[in-house]
Each structure stands twice: as structure tokens, then as C-alpha cells.
Chain A
Amino acid sequence: MKVINKYNSYWVKFLKNKRNKYSLFIFGFVFILSLFAEILSNDKPIIMSIDSKLYFPIIITYSDKHFDGYFDTEADYKDNFMTQKLAMKNNWAIFPLNPHSHDSINLNKSTPNPAPPSQYNYLGTDDRGRDVLARLLYGFRLSVLFAFTLTAIGILIGLFFGALQGYYAGKTDLYLQRFIEIWGSMPELYLLIIFSSLFEPSIFLLIILLSLFGWMGLSDYVRAEFLKGRNMEYVIAARTLGLSDTKIILKHILPNSMVSVITFLPFRISGAILILTSLDFLGLGVPPDTPSLGELLAQGKENIEAWWLSISTFLVLTGTLLSLIFIGEGIRESLDSRS
């Protein structure tokens, strides 16, 4: 019961500040929306009925032959063949709010690409005719999930090494610190370039490569906190009470060093989003077809007159980063037990 009270009060304190509240709600809302991107923005109908039979194209992949077509490939619901079929009597389909997927191209369009916002593409299209809104939504989701994963891995590794160094100090600290110095002086960007030409670029590879280097800044902070914490009198008191090292680390030092980790958290998440965006911008990031904010920015640069590309991406990116930092600051303030 005590524990619930404790976290409850943090939560109340967090929500007291309006900036925290709105940042969290806006970010959370958009993020949850983006998790359902397939339903919100897709070139397949959510549900449709042909010849009194129900189909769920978003969940189940139907081939063209299902609908008396000629091909074994997946049906194209925007193709004339399908639109005519759906227009027949008693046949119907419910399309998502934005009837484009991140990689669907509208072939029937008359305007050249990139096309400005219109009733077909609410935020216009990019230079290959793909819907910008769809790409933003999918790209945002990918960036945030990528950032969460990268941050989580980085924090786990950073906490582990930092705690090890700080708590045991002495020789352990000495050798690990030298290792980190050597490891940290490796040219990260060049490694990324080399690896992206050696292997097929993929999100997974990016996460591994960035995780290898992303933990070092944090481990320094954690180490410093633990070095300070291990000599605090309450830690010595815990040792005299007979607590094991693991328990002391988890219960006494870690909670008191969490402020630095948590302060770091929003900056790491937004940093990770920025890394992915800039790598994509340079063309070193995710594979070309993947929706990404960086690629949209690069397109915006290439097509400087297509303002809808750069402005919309810029707004999404800034909004995300800003709200993340506001949320982080809010968490830090509410966790501070002294205020």
C-alpha cells in the first residue's frame, strides 16, 4: 500500500505542471495513434464485402485470384479492376481515414510528383508519389520505437557497467575505464559507413551498431553517482546491516542515482531520434523503402520548392523532440523528493 502511495504522489506532482501534462498527452496520443497506423492509413480496406462475403484485407492477405483475378500476388485494392468490383451492387468496402500506405503510389494521379496537398493526399506526395501523411505517421512510429529500443538497451548496458565501476571501484574501475576510453575513441560514423556497405542495411543492424557505442555517456554518469553513493553513510549502514552487494546496489545506490539516469533519458530518446533521422538524411540509415523522417527531410532538401515535405517533417520532428524534453523535465522534477 505504501508503494502505491509513493508512485501516486509522483504522478500527481507530474500532472500538476500544465506543460508536463499537455506534452505527455500530445506525445502519448500521437504515439498510440501511430501504433495503429495500419488501420489509420492504409491502401487496403479495413473490411469489405464482395458477393456477400466478408474480407479483412488488413489482417489477411488475399491474392488477386480470390477476386477472380489473374495473379497470385496480393490484390491491389486501388487498381481499376478492384475499384470496379467494389463499385458493383451490394459490394462495399471501408477504407482507412487516410487511404494510403507508406509505400503505395497513386498511379491515377494527374499532377507531377511531388504533388502539393490535395483532397487525395492531405499533405501532398513525395517525389515518388507516396503519401506524405502516411510516411510521416509510419516514420514517426519507427523513429520512436527505434529510439525507445536504443535507449533501453543503452541504459541497461550503461547502468550495468557504471554500477560495476562505481560500486567496486579500485581495479575494476581502472580496467573498465581504460576499456571505455579505447572503445569510445573508435570512429563511430566511419564504422557505420563501413558496416552499411558490408551488410544489407536494416533497423536491426543499426540498433546493434548504435548500442555498441551509445551506452558510454550514461555509464560515466552512473559511475560518478555510484562512486559518490558507495561512501554515503546510509550505504555503509546498509552494509553493517548485512545486506548483500546486489541488494545495496539495487535498493540504496541505484534509486538515488536514478535522477541522473532519468534526467538523461529524454535527451537520449530525442538524441536517438536525431541520430536515426540524420543517418537517414545522409542515406546511411534504414533501407530505402522504409518510411523515415530523415529520408523525407532529404527529399525536402532535394525539392526545396515542395514546402509540404520539409515543413510537415520539420513540425513533426520538432514537436516530438520538444514534448519528449518537456516530459523528461517533468519526470525529473516530480522525482525530486526534496521539492
Chain B
Amino acid sequence: MKILEIKNFSLKNKKNNIFLLNNISLTLNKGETLGIVGESGSGKTLMGLSVTGLLDPSVFEVVSGEIIYNSKNLLTCPDEYLRKIRTKKISMIFQEPMLSLNPVQTIKGQLHEVIKLHVTKIQKDIDYLSKEIIVKTGLDDVDKILSSYPHMLSGGQRQRVMIAIALVCKPDILIADEPTTALDVTLQLQILDLLNNFKIENSMSMILVSHDLDLIKNYSDHIVILNNGSIVEEGLTRDVFEKPKNEYTKKLISSKPDRIITRISGDKKILETKNLSCKFPLNNPFFIKNKKYFTALSNINIHVNVAETIGIVGESGSGKTTLAMAIMQLLNYDGNIIFDNKDLSVLSNKDIRKHRDNFQIVFQDPFSSLSPRLNILEILSEGLVAFNKNIKHDELLGICTSLLSEVGLSNDMLSRYPHQFSGGQRQRIAIARALSMKPKLIIFDEPTSALDVIVQKNILELIVSLQEKYSLSYCFISHDLKVIKSISHRIYVIKDSEIVETNSTENILNHPTSDYTRSLIKSSFLS
């Protein structure tokens, strides 16, 4: 039974007349989950917002089409009607749970507000309903949660609260816009299972918007693939995944990172950490001597061989980035870091600077890792100039041109500024910058997490081809086991500032010894 139907819906930006959604037609049946997949900028989120009528009319203009719910066209409905059905009939969950909850109101206040507006005004019923829904979302200690403010809850708890608010009126349709993207992988499955159970229990329909193909594959019945605001393919999830018809769909499905690694040439150690620990003072009392510390790393022993990639996988807050910073000598640590037979931990800051050309880092966010006021030539030549003050301009130009071609960019981009590039291109520039120093080791701190899947695959291939060419050693940090698996020879699993398991990639994936690794593998759909 049809519950929502979108017919020939087109949407454009009023300011530059660019079509954001093109002739979208789709239907949602009762009790069914419709998955919408696409890269960033493909119009996924706009679809969700259009259905609930939350688009800013000063920016967007509906060109044609209708969105029919309950035999009414939502696009032409008066605001009062839309307000009535929002949350009560059509409900929405957003990506970022910290931003979608009001920080100055308790959870109780925000939940009660919704119930009072749409369900009942009797205080006793409100209390009962709010407690019931919180229990249903799998949160214990209901009273404590209800009286908390958003900042007192963890990311997963917050997302559950959001779900509780969205579902308390038992809506017909739930639009979940990347509901788990901001959460750790092990939490993702729990949240999606929760949504799925709720859907079955109340025979609710769900629109699941995501860029994550595995997630959509496992949780949706029908699937729609969006590219540049147009539907390129739709159908039963199984059919689309097994026999994709469209070129773009094929590319998207095959962009799942394959295992692409190089042969290891030897077992000479390039980097070794011995009992590496790192702690930060929690409160810094001025007069009191015994300070409290937060341990970010405790007794980390890892090593990297020449031309080898090690993968470091863990959730946010597990100490992955701290480890990278410690290896890069950017923060104080205890223990030893031995690089190329030299103990870096005993060197002064000035002496370390002389060795910096040997180890480089590529960061996660390509938008903040390039200085916005320098052009590409200046960005690339900076390190070269720091190590060789007498270098000539022509020579610099030559080196930077060859660096750009190394990472697959053309040399006419040298005079451009970072904001003129896409995320993938910026990440290539960041890699070129790291290469400019001719390092022996490069640390990649989530280099592909901010990128779309297709771009992600290209970057991974670039990284591997560079390793082949220059026998580089890599330390690859990610929360995404799929990426780690595709590129690393050995894996370290890190949890709560400790290494919980280490082994070769095959052994870890096939015979995990710790429970945590097992849950990681399961939630990455690798088992």
C-alpha cells in the first residue's frame, strides 16, 4: 500500500538557477524501508527536507511535481497542516545529535514538548509516554536520562534520545538522514537495529538516507540511487546490488575498497615505539601538587617495517590521533620512539626539526589542513624552503610541478588557492605536501573519512602506488575497518588507549581473539 508518493519533483536554487533535484519520482509503501544512496551533494538531504516542508523558501524553489501523502499534496498544503503532521505523521532524525538537541533544555523538557503538542495534554499520560519511549530506545536509568541536559549524554545516548523524540508520536513515516554517520561503528548497528525493530512493531515506513552502501544493503527493502540530483537507478535492494544496470551504480558498488597492498621487501624496522605513554592533566590546580591525569596512551608498543603499511583501527577517543601526534613529536610523551635507529625521545626540539623531513603526516580534514591564504605553490614549497634556504625559484617550481603530477593533478593548479579544489583534490595536495620532504614514513590520520566512496577508492590507490614506487612505510589510522583492511599488511586494534590486539590483516579478520575486534568486524559487515 502506497503511503507516500513523489511525482516528477524538481527543485532549484533560486540564486543561481541550478537544479538541485531533477524529476524525482518514487513511492514508499507501508511498512517498507526505502534506502536513498548517493555521494555528498547528490541531493539526499534535500529529499528528506522537501517531504517535511522544511526547505527555506528564500533559497529553494519548487519547479514542478508533487509530494502526495494521505491524498494531499504536501507542497501546496498550508503551513498549519504541515506543522500538524510533522513528527506526528512524518518524523525526521538528523545526522548530528549534538546539534539537533537544544543544549539549554533537559531531555524531559524537549520530549514533553513534542508529546504535549501532538498527543496529549494530560500530565500523567505525558510522564508515562515519555518514560515508555525512553525504555523502548534501550536506555537504562530512565529518570536520570530524562533529567539530563544533552551535553551530559554520550553520542549514542543522544542519538537514542533523538529517536525517542522522533518516534514518540508513532509516526507513519520516519526519515532518517544519515542517522549513524556521526557515531562509532559498534554503535551503528545497535541504533539501526533499534530503528528496524520499531519499524516492524508499528508497521512504520522508513526512508533511510545514507552514503554507506553496506548499511543500506542490510537495512532497506527498496533502494534509490541519486547522482547529481537525479535518480539513476531504483529497485529492490537485492536486485540492484546483484545486477546493477547503470554505470554509476556499478562504479558506486565496486568502489568498496578492495584489498590492494604491496609486497613487503624486508623486515628492517623503520619505526618502533617502546612503552609509549601519554597523559594530559585533567584539572590544573595552581597550588595543589597531586594532579589528576587523563591517560590518552598507555604502554603502546608498535613497529613499522620498511615499505610496510600498518593499520591502526579504533573508535573515536581511543587514542589513535594522540598516537599519531606522539610519533610526529608534536606532544610530550613517556617512553621511547625509535626512528631509523635514532631515539627521537632524547632529542631537543631543535634537533628534532632537523629530522622532520623523514616522517610526515596527512590529516583527515582536507578543508582545514591547507592554509587558506597560501596558494598551492606556496603550500608545496614551504617545507623545501625550510630545509634548504638557498633553493632557487625555478628549481622549486620544477619540484612542485612534478609533485603535482605525482599525485595526479595538473601543474596549472599551482597558483590556485585551496578553496578552489574539491575534497579529493585537496587530499591529493596534502599528500603531495607530505611527499615534498621525501619522507621514509607517512602517517595517514583518517585520510579518506571525509571523502565520498569513489574518491576514497582513488586516494587509496594513489597511496598504494606511491608506496610501490618509493618503498614508503605507512602508518594508516582509521575507524573504518574496511579501509584498513584494504590497505594494510598488519593491524593494531586500539581501544581505551591500549592496543588490544595485533596480527597480520588476514589473521585478525579471520581469527579475531578479542571480543572487541569481533564486534568491530561484525559492525563493518566484514564477517
Contact = CB atoms under 8 A, between A and B. Distances in A.
Contact of B373 (A235, A238, A337): A337
B386 A243 contact: yes
A338 B419 CA distance: 7
Given A241-B437, A242-B356, A255 B363 contact: no
Contact of B371 (A6, A234, A239, A338): A234
A232 B365 CA distance: 10
B354 A242 contact: yes
Contact of A234 (B330, B357, B370): B370
Given A241-B386, A242-B353, A236 B363 contact: yes
B90 interface: no
* Most chain A CB within a 10 A radius of its CB, from B360, B375, B382: B382
Contacts of B433: 237, 241
A233 B330 contact: no
Interface in B359-374: 359-361, 363-365, 368-374
Contacts of B353: 242, 244
Contacts of B19: none
B330 A337 contact: no
Contact of B419 (A238, A242, A252, A337): A337
B241 interface: no
Interface size range of chain A in the complex:
20 to 34
B371 A252 contact: yes
Contacts of B181: none
A334 to B, nearest CB: 13
B330 A236 contact: yes
Given A2-B415, A240-B360, A337-B417, A255 B373 contact: yes
A209 B373 CA distance: 36
A232 B368 CA distance: 7
Q: Which of A232, A240, A244 has the most CB of B within 10 A?
A: A240
Interface string B330-357: 1000000000000000000000011011
Contacts of A337: 372-373, 417, 419
A247 interface: yes
A240 B439 CA distance: 11
Nearest to A5: B415
A2 B375 contact: yes
Contacts of B356: 240-242
Contacts of A6: 375
B433 to A, nearest CB: 7
Given A2-B415, A237-B430, A338-B419, A242 B386 contact: yes
For A233, A256, A337, which residue has the most chain B Cβ atoms within 10 angstroms?
A233
Nearest to B375: A2
A244 B383 CA distance: 11
A234 B368 contact: yes
Contact of A240 (B330, B364, B417): B330
A242 to B, nearest CB: 4
B8 to A, nearest CB: 36
Interface string B91-128: 00000000000000000000000000000000000000
B494 interface: no
Nearest to A232: B368
26 contacts: A2-B377, A2-B378, A233-B363, A233-B369, A234-B369, A236-B328, A236-B363, A237-B361, A237-B363, A237-B369, A238-B371, A238-B382, A241-B360, A241-B383, A241-B386, A241-B433, A241-B437, A242-B356, A242-B387, A242-B437, A243-B382, A243-B383, A243-B386, A255-B374, A256-B372, A338-B419
Interface of B: 325, 328, 330, 353-354, 356-357, 359-361, 363-365, 368-375, 377-378, 382-383, 386-387, 415, 417, 419, 430, 433, 437
Given A233-B363, A337-B417, A337-B419, 6 more contacts: A2-B375, A234-B370, A237-B363, A241-B433, A243-B383, A244-B386
Interface of A: 2, 5-6, 232-244, 247, 251-252, 255-256, 337-338
What 9 A-B pairs have minimum CB-CB distances, sorted nearest first?
Answer: A241-B383, A242-B356, A233-B369, A234-B371, A233-B363, A255-B373, A233-B368, A242-B353, A243-B386
